[in-house]
Amino acid sequence: MRVRKKAWTVAEYENNIHICHESEKYKGKWNELFGNGNPIYVEIGCGKGRFISQMAAQNSDINFIGIERQSTIVATAARNLGNNAKNVYLIHGDVENLADFFEVGEIKRLYINFCDPWPKKKWIKRRLTHRNFLEKYKAVFGDKAEIFFKTDNRILFEFSLNEFCADDWKLSNISLDLHNSDYEGNIMTEYEEKFSEKGFPIYRLEARWEKN
């Protein structure tokens, strides 16, 4: 996602209370920042914040952290959160550095929503569901891992199914057309709404892993 810089984004990025600028120093201490011992769920690539905002509003007993690579998008998401989201922080960072932000076992769930499909064969290892990334996630999770994944890209979804299975994850709630399924409680991202309005099916799965 590319967002053109606007005049207000710099000030928003620097001053918004939802943006954590020294995220590495909270490694192992996020519950101190939140002021409670609630479970921490992380969204990789939070975009403009629609999904994480609604998830936080509906789950006040969960702490949410969104990670986004572009500062302009982080600022936009933070502004969209408003002042009432007490259980959300945003990190300007990259999933490659996940272990720099969180202590082992500190997070309980990852959401990966509509990540870049990296369609060319030479880019396969950049896909966030490639087994190299899955191993990184497991290292941060520790003994148990849980990932909820959504995409509009069938090739990426099929690839992800194979990667999760090859890496010994257990899959459930697999949907090849989420919006026409019996799944309840779905919250749409900005991308999801756009794709579904164009008639694209939305693919979804839940993946869980437990250390033997």
Q: What residues act catalytically?
A: 116
3-state secondary structure of 65: strand
* Cβ–Cβ < 8 Å for 12, 79: yes
Distance (Å, whole) CA 99 – CA 164:
20
* Cβ–Cβ < 8 Å for 49, 17: no
Give the β-pairing of 63-68 and 88-92: parallel
Locate 185 and state its tokens. Answer: 């409680």
* Cβ–Cβ < 8 Å for 140, 102: yes
Cα angle value 42/47/51 (rounded, 5°):
60
The interaxial angle of helices 131-141 and 154-166, nearest 10 deg, is: 60
The helix (run of H) or strand (run of E) holding residue 50 is helix 50-58
